Amino acid sequence: MPQPAPQENVIQVRDLVNRFGSQTVHEHLDLDVRRGEILGVVGGSGTGKSVLLRSIVGLRRPTSGQVHVFGQDLLSLSPEQRSQLERRFGVLFQNGALFSSLNVVENVAMPLIEHAGLSRPEAQRLAGVKLALAGLPPGTEIKYPSELSGGMVKRAALARALSMDPEILFLDEPTAGLDPISAAAFDRLILTLRDALGLTVFLVTHDLDTLYTTCDRVAVLSQKKVLVVGPLDVVAENGDPWVQSYFHGPRGRAAEEAHEREPSPEVK
C-alpha cells in the first residue's frame, strides 16, 4: 500500500533565540507548520507565544536563528522581496487593531488600496466580500469600531486579515474576551474558512475549547522552546507539570467532555 506523501512545511523555525535585555524568552526553539493545518500554540504566561508569532511575520527581528516562510529566509530578504512575501499571510492581532477613525469597510479596504493598488471603489467592493466571508451582516460596513461588539470587532479584523487572499492566517488569541457562544461561532468560522480557502492557520490561544474544536496539532512552549508538538491527545499525555495541569485540570476536562459530546462531522 503506498504511503501518503509527507506534508509540506510552509513555516520552518530553527534555533530561534529571542532576548529582551538580560531576559531570554526563546532559546534554540524549533518549529514546523504544515500546509493546510491549524496549529495551536499554547504555553504559560511569559513563554513568548505572541513573540514567536511576531518573529515569524517579521514584526520582530530575533536575536538569532532562522525563520523560513514558503522556503524563503525572511531575515535575509530585501525590503521589496519581504513585502511581496508578507502579502501571502494575514494577521489578526489580539485586540483587533482596527483604526478607530475609519469605518469597518474602510479598515478592510485599506490594505487593498495601499498594497494591491486598487481604487477606493474597487477596494471597498472587495472589502464587502471579505466582510461577508467573515460572517458580518449587511449594514456593519458603515459602523465604526467603537460601535461594534467584541465578537464583531474580531470578525472585522478577520476580514481585514483576509483582504489580500493570504495563504497563511496568523491569529493571536482570537477568542479572548468573547462570550462562550461568540467564541464557539468564531471557532467554527475558522474551520470553515480553512476548508473553503485552503488556509494554513497559526493560532496562539489559551482557549481549550478552541484547541479541541479547531486544531490539527498543538505546540506547547515551555522552558524557552517547543516542549512538545503533535495531535492534542498525544500532547496532553506529556508528563510536564504545566501540560498536566492545563489539559487535565477542571477546565481541560470540561473542554474534552464537551468535545466528546459533539457529533462527529463524518456522521450524516
Q: What is the pLDDT of residues 22-64, one digit of tens each?
A: 999 999 999 999 999 999 999 998 899 999 999 999 889 999 9
pLDDT digits (tens, 9 = 90+) for 123-182: 999 999 999 999 999 999 999 999 999 889 999 999 999 999 999 999 999 998 889 999
Asked if residue 199 is part of any domain, the answer here is no
Residue 152: which domain range? 103-165
Asked if residue 114 is part of any domain, the answer here is yes
Asked if residue 129 is part of any domain, the answer here is yes
What is the crossing angle of helices 120-133 and 150-161, to 10°? 120
At 258, the pLDDT band (50, 70, 90 cuts) reads: low
pLDDT digits (tens, 9 = 90+) for 78-119: 888 988 898 899 999 877 788 899 999 999 999 999 888 889
pLDDT at 64: 94
At 267, the pLDDT band (50, 70, 90 cuts) reads: very low
Q: What is the number of domains present in the chain?
A: 1
Asked if residue 95 is part of any domain, the answer here is no
The answer on pLDDT for 230 being more than 70 is: yes
pLDDT at 6: 58
Q: How far is CA 182 from CA 3, 151, 177, 248, in A?
A: 40, 6, 10, 25
Asked if residue 150 is part of any domain, the answer here is yes
Comparing CA positions, the residue from 223, 243, 224 lying closest to residue 233 is: 243
Residues 6+ apart with CB under 8 A from 38: 190, 191, 194, 200, 201, 203, 214, 215, 216, 217
The answer on pLDDT for 243 being more than 90 is: yes
Asked if residue 218 is part of any domain, the answer here is no
Asked if residue 224 is part of any domain, the answer here is no
Its pTM stands at 0.89
pLDDT at 253: 59
Residues 6+ apart with CB under 8 A from 57: 86, 89, 91, 170
For the ranges 62-66, 184-188, 240-244, 256-260, the lowest mean pLDDT is seen at 256-260
Do the beta carbons of residue 113 and residue 124 sit within 8 Å?
no
Do the beta carbons of residue 94 and residue 110 sit within 8 Å?
no
CA distance 12 to 10: 7
pLDDT at 33: 97
User: 228: which strand partners?
Assistant: 220
Q: Which residue has the higher pLDDT, 74 or 162?
A: 162
